[in-house]
């Protein structure tokens, strides 16, 4: 399962985002380091279910009238403070937790209501732009410190015949999620001494920054837009990087209202309908939230999750079935499973995603939409329904 991690300074709204996205109860309070131990939960990205091409909806528990929700892991860890890479606050614990994440959601207080340390201040008195590069810088310097501490092992290997720097650096960075391809691409783009013994701290830092960018891409979540000064939001959205305006508090209110049966709302909808009687105060707050959603196209929580998976990580959704005519599994369930795969994946990759034995026994695949067999190197597209034929059962 893909893993996304929430990062940012204390009080930016990470735990509120996490609760809204997972509907798991966590501690939320207006003081630094409310989150001590990492919270792990399951959230979902939203896409169009292939059952919209059928006469009837599939009935899958993750499909809501043709809108499919595909599970991903969401991680909420302790807030960062300046100097986290040196161990300030809960920095080392925070950064260690990020090693297995595929992408980072940098939650920023767009209202300027928390200072650099994550302490509450008057709205508009802190410039949120200063928080944008903060997480990225702390992650880069933390990884650089790890590379520096372990570089001696690369130097020792360099004295051996047949030394391969790509292999040595890959071994060093495997724990951070770097693949051989990541390392090869990074080294190709960098200017560095052939002899690892001659590498400087700057060389190792450049390597760390490149690898972090490749393995831990970042989406900025400009949170608290419902109370943020307009000029702050405008400046954030003008940045040359992915920035998603959001109100995690608004999303949480809608999901709780939907659970209570007072609101008709699916995560990611651009608006909602009130279906029950509400106190005047709540009705007023929801009216204000509706205006915010109309301006930004929703609460932004689902958009941020989708942007991280489908745009930043460039994944697609594929649906394996056993019956290509009925789009069912062996017991008649329509479109029972959905898998997120990197763009460029093939039916063989989908087979291995289902089970390693299915992949090992792969024979061929059929595109259930066209009822035609597809080549082994066929590149899957979003929403493909694929029958995999394998020696494994």
- Sheet of 339-342: strands edge to edge? 339-342, 315-321, 384-390, 362-367, 372-374
Sole residue written with tokens 């958009």: 303
Q: Using CA of residue 206, residue 343, residue 305, residue 61, what is the dihedral sign?
A: negative
Calpha distance 10→261 (Å, rounded): 33
Which residues does residue 222 pair with via DSSP β-bridges, in sequence order?
A: 108, 245
Calpha distance 256→26 (Å, rounded): 14
Calpha distance 278→302 (Å, rounded): 25
> 196 and 154 in contact (C-beta within 8 Å)?
yes
| Average pLDDT of the residues in 278-294 | 94
CA angle 46, 70, 372 (to 5 degrees): 95
Helix (H) or strand (E) holding 384: strand 384-390
**Least confident range of 90-99, 157-166, 283-292:** 90-99
pLDDT for the residue numbered 28: 47
Calpha distance 166→172 (Å, rounded): 10
Q: How confident is the model at residue 78 (pLDDT cuts 50, 70, 90)?
A: low
> 272 and 290 in contact (C-beta within 8 Å)?
yes
pLDDT for the residue numbered 247: 98
Say which DSSP state 221 is in. E
> 118 and 22 in contact (C-beta within 8 Å)?
no
Q: How confident is the model at residue 87 (pLDDT cuts 50, 70, 90)?
A: low
> 379 and 352 in contact (C-beta within 8 Å)?
no
What CA–CA distances, in Å, run from 125 to 9, 106, 166, 170, 228? 16, 20, 47, 44, 11
pLDDT for the residue numbered 139: 87
| Mean confidence (pLDDT) of the chain | 92
pLDDT for the residue numbered 369: 96
pLDDT for the residue numbered 98: 79
Calpha distance 173→326 (Å, rounded): 45
pLDDT for the residue numbered 91: 42
Q: How confident is the model at residue 310 (pLDDT cuts 50, 70, 90)?
A: very high
pLDDT for the residue numbered 142: 86
Model confidence over 213-258: pLDDT tens digits?
999 999 999 999 999 999 999 999 999 999 999 999 999 999 999 9
Model confidence over 186-218: pLDDT tens digits?
999 999 999 999 999 999 999 999 999 999 999
């Amino acid at each position: 399962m893909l893993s996304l991690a929430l990062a940012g300074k204390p009080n930016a709204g990470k735990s509120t985002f996490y609760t809204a996205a997972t509907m798991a109860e966590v501690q939320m309070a207006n003081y630094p380091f409310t989150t001590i131990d990492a919270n792990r939960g399951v959230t979902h990205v939203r896409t169009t279910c292939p059952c919209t091409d059928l006469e009837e909806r599939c009935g899958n528990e993750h499909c809501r009238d043709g809108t499919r929700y595909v599970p991903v892991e969401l991680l909420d860890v302790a807030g960062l403070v300046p100097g986290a890479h040196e161990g300030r606050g809960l920095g080392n614990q925070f950064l260690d937790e990020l090693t297995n994440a595929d992408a980072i959601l940098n939650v920023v207080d767009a209202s300027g209501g928390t200072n650099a340390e994550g302490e509450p201040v008057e709205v508009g008195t802190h410039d949120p732009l200063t928080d944008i590069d903060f997480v990225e810088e702390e992650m880069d310097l933390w990884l650089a410190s790890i590379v520096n501490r372990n570089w001696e092992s690369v130097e020792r290997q360099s004295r051996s015949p047949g030394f391969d720097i790509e292999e040595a650096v890959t071994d060093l960075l495997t724990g951070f999620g770097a693949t051989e391809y990541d390392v090869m691409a990074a080294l190709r783009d960098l200017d560095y001494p052939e002899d690892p013994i001659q590498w400087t701290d700057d060389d190792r830092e450049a390597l760390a920054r490149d690898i972090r960018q490749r393995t831990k891409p970042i989406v900025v979540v400009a949170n608290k837009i419902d109370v943020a000064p307009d000029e702050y939001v405008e400046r954030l959205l003008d940045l040359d990087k992915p920035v998603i305006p959001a109100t995690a508090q608004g999303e949480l209110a809608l999901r709780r209202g939907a659970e209570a049966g007072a609101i008709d709302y699916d995560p990611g909808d651009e608006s909602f309908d009130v279906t029950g009687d509400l106190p005047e105060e709540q009705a007023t707050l929801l009216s204000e939230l509706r205006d915010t959603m109309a301006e930004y196209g929703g609460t932004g929580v689902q958009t941020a999750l989708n942007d991280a998976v489908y745009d930043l990580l460039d994944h697609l959704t594929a649906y394996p079935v056993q019956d290509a005519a009925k789009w069912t599994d062996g017991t008649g369930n329509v479109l029972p499973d959905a898998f997120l795969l990197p763009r460029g994946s093939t039916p063989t990759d989908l087979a291995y995603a289902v089970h390693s034995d299915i992949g090992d026994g792969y024979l061929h695949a059929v595109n259930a939409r066209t009822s035609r067999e597809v080549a082994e190197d066929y590149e899957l597209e979003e929403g493909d329904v694929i029958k995999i034929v394998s020696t494994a059962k």
